[in-house]
Structure 1
Amino acid sequence: MSESASPSSAKSSLVFVFLVVLIDMLGFGIIMPVLPKLITSITGDTVSQAAVYAGWLAFAYAAMQFVFGPIVGNLSDRFGRRPVLLGALGGYAIAYVLMGFAASLLWLFAARIIAGIMGASFSTAYAYIADISPAEKRAQNFGLIGAAFGLGFIFGPAIGGILGEYGARLPFFAAGLLAALNLLFGFFLLKESLPPEKRRPFKLARANAFVALKGLSGQNKIVFWYAAALTVWMTAHVVYPIIFAFYAIESFGWSEWTVGMALACVGIGAAIVQGVLIRVLIPRIGERNAVIVGAVSMAASSIFYVIAGPDQGWLIFVAIPIGALQGLFQPSINGLMSNAVSDETQGELQGAVASLQSMASVIGPPLFAAVFAAFTVAGSIHYLPGAPFGLAGIISLIALVIFLRGYALHCTSGEVEPPPNAKTLVN
């Protein structure tokens, strides 16, 4: 643990980092219900065309995270985590206010580009947690990031739907206000976690995902395997925000309210697993076995999506708690990667990982959308709306194979030992 963050301040610092991610997810969730109405009011186009614009807005956001994730991570290794996190909150506030005042699509794209750059601060949030957490608790504390995602996914759309009744632009100003309030909170209470003696010079040549991973692999070659597994995993994971609503409406004729309630259940499951259960399971079974449980749970839950017939929507509510355990996957791998590199390169590591995850967010949506269209379009060879989820389940198992190969190499190198109380799930 960093000396600049005392044990008494570590808890409040964790709370702040949790709030940084929660506010970004709340902001994302708040604007979801009203974004179509805002776009149509600006352009005068149909909802269908508005969806096309929304897709390109999502692409712009993910592309900025891919480019700037390593840059922001490297900057935090040079100047510290605190200024980067505070700057991100200021950027969020500006981005949401810009969207609230947007008079053209250009304004919206500018705002999403800013938000994407600021969203690259997730890498710094992970690095901050690595700084202030003992090695044996990093994976559990990384789970707080997942819990923030889950809570934002629960409350964001609900808040946006309520505020949207009073105007399509009000939710954007609310999201900006949340970011500004957290900026004030952090300015007065957040302590720096990276002491000066552990900082390193910023080198732009290292500030991209592939160069960063090559350099980090020089410390420990296992990082490449873990990063590859995580990238493949994230490609599978984006099936939920991209396809779920379309799938539920196509398969079961669900209303928007039912879709929203189902997604809220997904968020609740993510919050419970990554905010609470992960702290119990990982110390007992170890990171390796937690990754296995996460991948297998996603693959198992995908089966329900594939087999559910038109009158079997209830199967989805069976699949959701099973699939919630997939929340063990990412924090566990993040913990293993964090422990595999030096303290001085935590920001670089998390920046590279954030960039690779953004790349998955660019690849996954068109892939799953194309599969969904191919299996639901009139005249398709086989009508199967759940096909994208089946594909995601297969991809999650591929990610598991990549991880297990890397973990085997890690253990062979003698650099990591399985926890003494961990029970082997697979040979």
Structure 2
Amino acid sequence: MITLFLVVFLDLVGFGMIIPVFPFYAERLGVSPSSVIFFLGLYSAGQLVGAPLWGSLSDRVGRRPVLLLTLLANAASSWMLAHADTGAALAVSRLIAGLAAGNISAAYAYTTDITTDATRPRALGLLGSAFGMGFILGPAIGGLLAGGDDGSSLAQVAYAAAIMSLVAFVLTLVRLPESLPADKRRQRHAPRTRMAVYLQRPVLRGLLVATVVVVAAVSLMQSTLALFSAERLAMGPRSLGWVYGFTGVISVSVQVGIIGRLTTRFGARRLAWWGTILVAIGIAGVPLAHDLVSLLTTLSVFSIGSALFNPSMSGLVASSAASNERGGVLGAYQGAASLGRVIGPVIGSGVAKVVGLSGPFVAGALICLVGTAFIASRRRNAGAT
């Protein structure tokens, strides 16, 4: 589990390094501020296709080959980004990176392979903390490597991100054993289960729809935050890197320190519901921030909610699947999350054009609250799997 944690952590550090720099670099290449939000959504479009594909493939060939292939693809996409000199090149590099990032479904499936129902919440929390820690160090390192607040050194950041993915590849190759024995894999001739089949299961349907809705709200906020902070608080890549790092510290503290005990006491469904409420409150508070302290305060609420929501939802999804279909089911879950990340920036871009950069946060909070109804429906349908 520690090796998998390090693999995911290193890969997410590389991804996180790009976040605070990309919007500024894209603008330097002639991409308008409102279109930057859409460009960020292209990454999730690739993830939308990749997550179900890699998850299902890992049920057939094992988790390790999928992780190795996608880590190499991540490194290649970062190299392409370093050499991009047009908006079209940026778009292609982001799409490929998103396709490769679909490997997260295989990482989650790996975790469920090596855990029991009793140990799974804490293990998923640990895996989630790898994401959080990636967002602590990644944006901070990216901001520092950018060399200033104009995003002029993206190539340097992108090369460093490629190195992170290559290190994760070597670590997987040398230290990570296969978690899914051959006798537990889905037969190669069996047809791949489509998302529509999972949606026919009442429990999964509620969870997947809730994931789309909540993640759409979260990605809407995240894709707008850099531009809003630059306009309202005059923040650049380096400052934003530290802000993202701060939110990562909050998220990791919750997922490593208390998520297992909270799940045992309150249950994953209740934690997912309350996490959604806190995310909505945090998103709604961003446009009210008038200085760095107030921004960090509302982002703290958001980070706590996100840290409760993510491992709780993935645990609920995993518990609804058989061992030989968990890759596919978790791939569907990651695909639902990716769909939300596509929808969110599109909505944010449209709202920002009409009412300004404060509007997407209000819309995001309202959308997020819709997700609570679908999470609650999981309890009503618990016996209808």
TM-score higher than 0.5: yes
**Secondary structure of 2:31's aligned partner:** helix
Distance 1:208 1:108, change over 3 A: farther
**Secondary structure of 1:135's aligned partner:** coil
> 5 Å matches for 1:104-143?
107-143=89-125
C-alpha separation in 2, matches of 1:252 and 1:100: 29
1:30 matched residue in structure 2:
17
C-alpha separation in 2, matches of 1:361 and 1:395: 13
Task: Give the CA deviation at 1:253.
Answer: 4.4
Give the AA of the match of 1:272: S
Task: Give the CA deviation at 1:27.
Answer: 1.8
Larger Rg: 1 or 2? Answer: 1
1:100–1:170 Cα contact (<8 Å) kept: yes
Structure 2's unaligned 5+ residue stretches are none
Q: Do residues 298 (structure 1) and 279 (structure 2) align?
A: yes
**Structure 1 stretch displaced more, 352-361 or 168-177:** 168-177
> 5 Å matches for 1:351-370?
351-370=331-350
2:371 matched residue in structure 1:
399
1:86 matched residue in structure 2:
68
> 5 Å matches for 1:122-271?
122-165=104-147, 167-202=153-188, 206=192, 208-214=194-200, 217=201, 221-254=202-235, 257-271=238-252
Distance 1:373 1:244, change over 3 A: same
Task: Give the CA deviation at 1:244.
Answer: 1.5
Q: Do residues 329 (structure 1) and 303 (structure 2) align?
A: no
Distance 1:197 1:360, change over 3 A: same
Give the AA of the match of 2:176: L
1:71–1:204 Cα contact (<8 Å) kept: no
Distance 1:112 1:223, change over 3 A: same
C-alpha separation in 1, matches of 2:239 and 2:144: 16
After superposition, the C-alpha distances for 1:51-86 in whole angstroms (9 at most, x for unaligned) are: 577555434322222122211111100011111111
1:38–1:169 Cα contact (<8 Å) kept: no
Q: Do residues 346 (structure 1) and 326 (structure 2) align?
A: yes
After superposition, the C-alpha distances for 1:159-207 in whole angstroms (9 at most, x for unaligned) are: 2233333954222222222211221111121111111111113469635
Task: Give the CA deviation at 1:292.
Answer: 2.4
1:320 matched residue in structure 2:
299
Give the AA of the match of 1:74: S
> 5 Å matches for 1:53-64?
54-55=36-37, 57-64=39-46
C-alpha separation in 2, matches of 1:337 and 1:286: 14
C-alpha separation in 1, matches of 2:285 and 2:92: 40
Task: Give the CA deviation at 1:239.
Answer: 2.8
C-alpha separation in 2, matches of 1:393 and 1:364: 12
C-alpha separation in 1, matches of 2:80 and 2:118: 42
Distance 1:395 1:139, change over 3 A: farther
Give the AA of the match of 1:189: R
Task: Give the CA deviation at 1:332.
Answer: 0.8
C-alpha separation in 2, matches of 1:163 and 1:398: 39
Give the AA of the match of 2:117: A
Structure 1's unaligned 5+ residue stretches are 1-13, 41-45, 377-384, 416-427
2:212–2:340 Cα contact (<8 Å) kept: yes
Equivalences, count: 380
C-alpha separation in 2, matches of 1:247 and 1:230: 25
C-alpha separation in 2, matches of 1:315 and 1:307: 8
Task: Give the CA deviation at 1:121.
Answer: 0.6
C-alpha separation in 1, matches of 2:75 and 2:61: 22
Distance 1:403 1:393, change over 3 A: same
TM normalised by structure 2 equals 0.88
2:34–2:349 Cα contact (<8 Å) kept: no
C-alpha separation in 2, matches of 1:372 and 1:38: 20
C-alpha separation in 1, matches of 2:171 and 2:373: 43
C-alpha separation in 1, matches of 2:159 and 2:292: 36
> 5 Å matches for 1:41-56?
46=28, 48-49=30-31, 54-55=36-37
2:17–2:139 Cα contact (<8 Å) kept: yes
Distance 1:163 1:356, change over 3 A: same
Give the AA of the match of 1:404: A
Give the AA of the match of 1:154: I
Distance 1:164 1:374, change over 3 A: same
Distance 1:60 1:396, change over 3 A: closer
Give the AA of the match of 1:79: V
After superposition, the C-alpha distances for 1:26-50 in whole angstroms (9 at most, x for unaligned) are: 222223354467657xxxxx45526
2:264 matched residue in structure 1:
283
1:421 matched residue in structure 2:
none
2:31–2:87 Cα contact (<8 Å) kept: no
After superposition, the C-alpha distances for 1:212-258 in whole angstroms (9 at most, x for unaligned) are: 544xx2xxx31111111111111111133211223334444456554
